[in-house]
Amino acid sequence: MSRIVLKEGDITAEAVDAIVNAANSALVLGAGVAGAIRAKGGPQIQAECDAHGRIAVGDAALTGAGDLDARFVIHAASMPPGGQANEISVRTSLRRSLELAAEQGCRTVAVPAIGAGVAGVPVRRSAEILLDEARRHLEGETPIEEIRFVLFGEQAYRVFESVNDASRIQAQMDRLRRR
């Protein structure tokens, strides 16, 4: 049974098949989640990003995970370098990330609040988009068993929790109306 898990913590410490990086389209590991991945994963991740080259905003790229306790890092390009993310780029970059994870046979995937923070999308809207896209993916044919949203700080965690709870209540209400 597939599931969505919410967790407050450091995404670079997760023992999963793939860690999703909130990336820019140049695949330069700068600040935030990308900087933490660079610092803890080692220089080989950036070297693989450099060898891969730029990708389109809304796309994703796969690299090894270096020294992280994961098999892969999937770089979800939700914004151009120095630019901002938008609702479409957040959705499509997560969708492509989950597709890449599934293609690699990943069962567990850790995801940050893509688009939030310096990328400019409000945390609540990021949560709504990401949780919706994760649910859609898990409803289809996929080897992914767990999508784990690992959120930096209690505030982000609480926002994701609130959005997730509201979605579950809405789904229950919809089921009751159909009876």
CATH number of the domain that 21 lies in? 3.40.220.10
The model's confidence at residue 1, banded by pLDDT at 50, 70 and 90, is: low
Give the pTM. 0.92
* Tokens matching residue 176: 């009751």
DSSP H or E segment with residue 45: helix 43-52
Per-residue pLDDT reduced to its tens digit, 121-173: 999 999 999 999 999 999 999 999 999 999 999 999 999 999 998 877 777 77
Question: Which segments within 33-145 are labelled E, that is strand?
Answer: 60-64, 70-79, 108-111
- What domain range includes position 173? 3-178
- Phi, psi dihedral angles at 116 (to 5 degrees): -80, 175
How distant is the alpha carbon of residue 87 from its chain centre? 14
Q: What is the DSSP letter of 57?
A: T
Domain total in the chain: 1
Per-residue pLDDT reduced to its tens digit, 36-47: 999 999 999 999
Per-residue pLDDT reduced to its tens digit, 52-72: 999 999 999 999 999 999 999
Q: For tokens 């670079």, what's the residue?
A: 12
